[in-house]
Amino acid sequence: MKNFDFDLFVIGGGSGGVRAARMAAQRGARVALAEVAAMGGTCVNVGCIPKKLYSYAAHYAEAFEESHGFGWTGAAPVFDWARLKTNRALEISRLNGVYLQLLQGSGVQIIEGWATLADAHTVEVEGSRYTAKHILIATGGRPSLPEVQGRELVITSDQIFDIDPFPARLLVVGGGYIACEFASIFNGLGAQVTQLYRGAQVLRGFDAEVRAFVAAEMVKTGVDLRLHADVAAIRQAADGLLVQLQDGSSTTVDAVLYATGRLPNVAGLGLENAGVPLTAQGAIEVNAHYQTAVPSIYALGDVTARIQLTPVALGEAMVVVDHLFGAAAGKKPRRMSYDFIPTAVFTHPNIGTVGYSEADARKEFGKVSIYRSEFKALKHTLSGSTERTLMKLVVDDASDRVVGLHMVGADAGEVVQGFAVAMKAGATKAIFDSTIGIHPTAAEEFVTMREPVKEPARAP
């Protein structure tokens, strides 16, 4: 039997890679992890964490304005972009250190540098070679930037957090959750935001009614959302970036953010050296155990392009560790289910969703009942804000099971997380109906909707 340097070699120090490395080491495995950038991957450095911090920052402008209705008076404070960036960087640096401490405390050997596969059991990092019984690829994703004239002048979500100076006029290109979030964030921070999307409505894949509702709310807050629109060319002008649109019109802005999706980060990994195949979409192909066609090589997270969410990568990491090194004492091996995964979009207002959209539920279950409520939240009866909240349930008529739950409103992610547990457990509409609500909250609306809507909602 061949002696290897390590039992597991992890390529990538993002959430999934760190979790797999740390937990495998705690099971007694000899583990190494290679990372070329700051520890923590996309989520910690240029994704979930800084984005949520900036979302919090963006809410303060409206919060100060709304406070007048509750008796608070005084001049509005002045926003300091440089201070926000500095404080964010300090927090991210702290988290980078936490990740390092977790790995080192578990006995993982950290190797700095770009890692490539030399063969099925060998990884090369900065000229040094390491052998491993198992190799795990967890290199995440990267922003997708389409070919457009002037693309060298644009930025992606990786650069937006440190843009300097603050863009008084920002053009956001894209209609997915990243584009919508940054449009909301920079609009809230005081930028004049224009968002272009070539499709009929933003947030493809979400419930149609949710898509239309949040788009309307974003427009109410000041985002200039233009559908069926796209960029033809970008060039530097004396007063900013001149953006020519495909309809012949033009606009001048200070910065152009392309948020047009993310691609699996597979370039330069040497996959061909080990014979690791890719899917037609350019992702690493894996089986139910996250094993590639090469038995010794595994992959998880965004690089496999299944569901690009940090908690999903963490769950997949535990499945891999249990599969390779056995479950923790007294525990059963983990299994990963992709049903009823909750998610949030930090637009203003937020979106929280779990389960099927109305359209998908009709395809999957046939006859469904739709329960819907739209209202002004109690807070806004005094705040002066025109923001409204949408809550929606999708129920499978045959089983009475709640198979879709959607919310657009303040703290939607916080609200939906708890309901996701109930839905994962198979909660029926009758159980929802028998649950006492907490009053006065928006969340109680989910357990007080009694009558289904008469007509199914139509896509915009």
Question: Active-site positions?
Answer: 439
How remote is the C-alpha of 125 from its chain's centroid? 30
Of 287, 316, 303, 308, nearest in space to 20 by CA: 316
Compute the distance between CA of residue 34 and CA of residue 8 in angstroms, rounded to an integer. 11
The answer to whether 234 and 153 have CB atoms below 8 angstroms apart is yes
Compute the distance between CA of residue 254 and CA of residue 163 in angstroms, rounded to an integer. 11
Structure tokens at 399: 């089983």
How far are the Cα atoms of 288, 312, 318 from residue 336, in angstroms, in the given order? 9, 8, 9
Compute the distance between CA of residue 442 and CA of residue 421 in angstroms, rounded to an integer. 18
Strands 128-137 and 297-299: parallel
Peptide bond into 440 cis (omega under 30): yes
Reading across the β-sheet that carries 231-237, which strands appear in turn?
A: 231-237, 240-245, 250-253
Compute the distance between CA of residue 285 and CA of residue 280 in angstroms, rounded to an integer. 9
Listed in order, strand segments (DSSP E) in 148-264 are: 169-173, 192-197, 224-227, 231-237, 240-245, 250-253, 255-258, 262-264
How far are the Cα atoms of 40, 63, 386 from residue 70, in angstroms, in the given order? 41, 11, 16
Strand partners, 408: 351, 390
How far are the Cα atoms of 96, 136, 211, 302, 319 from residue 24, in angstroms, in the given order? 20, 11, 41, 20, 11
The per-type count for the chain, helices as H runs and strands as E runs, is: 12, 21
Compute the distance between CA of residue 352 and CA of residue 63 in angstroms, rounded to an integer. 21
Listed in order, strand segments (DSSP E) in 219-309 are: 224-227, 231-237, 240-245, 250-253, 255-258, 262-264, 297-299
* 384: alpha, beta or left? (left if phi > 0; alpha if psi -120 to 50): left
Show Cβ contacts of residue 205 under 8 Å, excluding neighbours closer than 6 positions: 357
The answer to whether 231 and 430 have CB atoms below 8 angstroms apart is no
Host H or E run for residue 118: strand 115-119
Q: What DSSP line would sit under 88-114, residue for residue?
A: HHHHHHHHHHHHHHHHHHHTPEEEES-
